[in-house]
Chain A
Amino acid sequence: MTDDKDVLRDVWFGRIPTCFTLYQDEITEREADPYYLLLPRISYLTLVTDKVKKHFQKVMRQEDVSEIWFEYEGSPLKWHYPIGLLFDLHASNTALPWNITVHFKNFPEKDLLHCHSKDVIEAHFMACIKEADALKHKSQVINEMQKKDHKQLWMGLQNDKFEQFWAINRKLMEYIPEDSGFRYIPFRIYQATTERPFIQKLFRPVAPGGQLHTLGDLLKEVCPTAITPEDCEKTIQVMIHGIEPMLETPIQWLSEHMSYPDNFLHISIIPRPTD
């Protein structure tokens, strides 16, 4: 795993240039300038937008300020999805910067979870990590860690500290050499064109004969529509962290190197642009 540390760093330090604009119907005392920010792909909206909130709250009256939420082209953005996933799913084929609209009123209760404090984000993040380890190691690795190790994972993400995070996370990426990989791969597949939130199933990284399963094998099994026959034109993109890995890429390697900090591989299936 240490041979591909450059991949881990590129994934961690990926940024999306974003322009935040206040919703036109929000009541302001003066005109609000847009706010530009580089959003970390691996983080969560409500964790990195304190400055955005302060910037717009300066031009608003206190009584008009409620819980902040974000929207892109009419779709509320789920704060509990990683930022990189939201971008890949909604706006990867549009021009940068990513234009996000900021709201302080009419919170969409049916579409979004509330996020009143950083503790909520931490709880969600740790729950994802524990779920991922349950799939990978039957929760043995995460349960053997001390509370301070769990805290270090969270603080590493919150403070954007790569070394601090991976000092602990590397243990969650280990496995017995005889097994050739994790027990199951923690993954979720998202399709912008369906109502279904995501696809998540049990999938082993190694076949009974010992061959490594690939991204293509995963898609064939859990999302066959994502695979285009060889003689047909490709109409679909399979995107992770803003790139399209080859379908021959071993899924075990992807899980170790291109998972988000919550240890899940979040995969977007989106229509390929026609131009």
Chain B
Amino acid sequence: MAGVGPGPGWRSHVRAELQRREREQRGLRDLVRTHEKLLERLDLQSLLAEKLQLDTGTQESGAALDLASLQLQHALEVSELQQGQEELAQTIADLTEALTRSEAETREQRERAGRCARALAALSSRAEEAEALRAALGVAQEQVAALEARWVQEKAAEAARVNQANAQLERYQHQVLRLRQKLEQLQLAAAGIKLGTSDSSCSTSCEELALGGLDSGPQGSSSPMRAQESHTKTPAPALSETLGSTPVTP
């Protein structure tokens, strides 16, 4: 309903003005209403008088006229009562109709209220279910978060382990490379000594090489090598290259 305005002043003003309008006209209105009724009564009286005169025919004696007048009076009163009765009957019919309409409206509103109550109950139970699901979702989300944290932790630990292993492997591989190099040097040195070589520079070189190989000992621990050697290494120089261009003859 469009009842909200700047304030109730305009509404009470309309009411007051309508009542003032009615008050100012009330006297004249009642007068006109009375005049209308009297006019109707006069018309009815004339009609009945005509009817009675037709019935009785020519002029009558005084007593008969009195009787006719009395009859007219009674007929008028009966007519007015009948009119009043009709008006009351009409009012009753109108009120009955209004009552029936009100009852139908009340029934309709009760039904609507019932439907709303049922809908409300259904919505309430759905709301409760939604609430329970929400709670369960919360718990599940917490569990997921915990699992994720644990997974991240384990992944971090695993990464640390892998890194540690990789570092260890790299150390072993370095160690292997050095040992190989040393071995090759030793083999070279041995080959040189065997040959009884006159090349003093060669033997000196061999000695130096042998000394150098011995000096560069393993820096890591003595753990066993891993099977996988994934990183690339510089291959050991060929024996001929190490000894120079002089071929070795037994």
User: Do A and B truly interact?
Assistant: yes
List chain A positions with a Cβ less than 8 A from chain B. Answer: 1-4, 6-7, 10-11, 14-18, 35-38, 96-97, 161, 163-164, 167, 180-181, 205, 212, 214, 241-246, 248-250, 252-253, 256-258
Would you mind naming 15 contact pairs between A and B with Cβ atoms under 8 Å apart? A3-B3, A4-B3, A10-B22, A14-B18, A14-B22, A17-B25, A17-B32, A161-B94, A163-B98, A243-B18, A243-B20, A246-B13, A248-B6, A253-B3, A257-B14
Known: A7-B15, A163-B94, A246-B13. Is A253-B29 also a contact (CB below 8 A)? no
A249 to B94 alpha-carbon distance, docked (Å) = 34
The listed residue (B5, B13, B97) touching A163 by CB distance below 8 A is B97
Interface centre among B10, B20, B29, by most chain A C-beta atoms within 10 angstroms, is B10
| Binary flags per residue of B29-49, CB closer than 8 Å to A gives 1, else 0 | 101110110010000000000
A-contacting residues, B6-29, CB 8 Å: 6-7, 9-11, 13-15, 17-22, 25, 28-29
Asked if B21 and A243 make an inter-chain contact with CB atoms under 8 angstroms apart, the answer reads yes
The listed residue (A96, A97, A163, A249) touching B10 by CB distance below 8 A is A249
A214 to B2 alpha-carbon distance, docked (Å) = 11
Asked if B15 and A6 make an inter-chain contact with CB atoms under 8 angstroms apart, the answer reads yes
The listed residue (B11, B19, B25, B97) touching A96 by CB distance below 8 A is B25
A163 to B93 alpha-carbon distance, docked (Å) = 12
Known: A163-B97, A246-B9, A246-B10. Is A38-B21 also a contact (CB below 8 A)? no
A163 to B101 alpha-carbon distance, docked (Å) = 10
A245 to B15 alpha-carbon distance, docked (Å) = 10
Question: With a CB–CB cut-off of 8 A, which chain B residues contact A258?
Answer: 14
Question: With a CB–CB cut-off of 8 A, which chain A residues contact B15?
Answer: 6-7, 10
Tell me if B54 is interfacial: C-beta within 8 Å of chain A: no
A212 to B3 alpha-carbon distance, docked (Å) = 10
A18 to B81 alpha-carbon distance, docked (Å) = 28
Asked if B5 and A250 make an inter-chain contact with CB atoms under 8 angstroms apart, the answer reads yes
The listed residue (A161, A167, A214, A243) touching B14 by CB distance below 8 A is A243
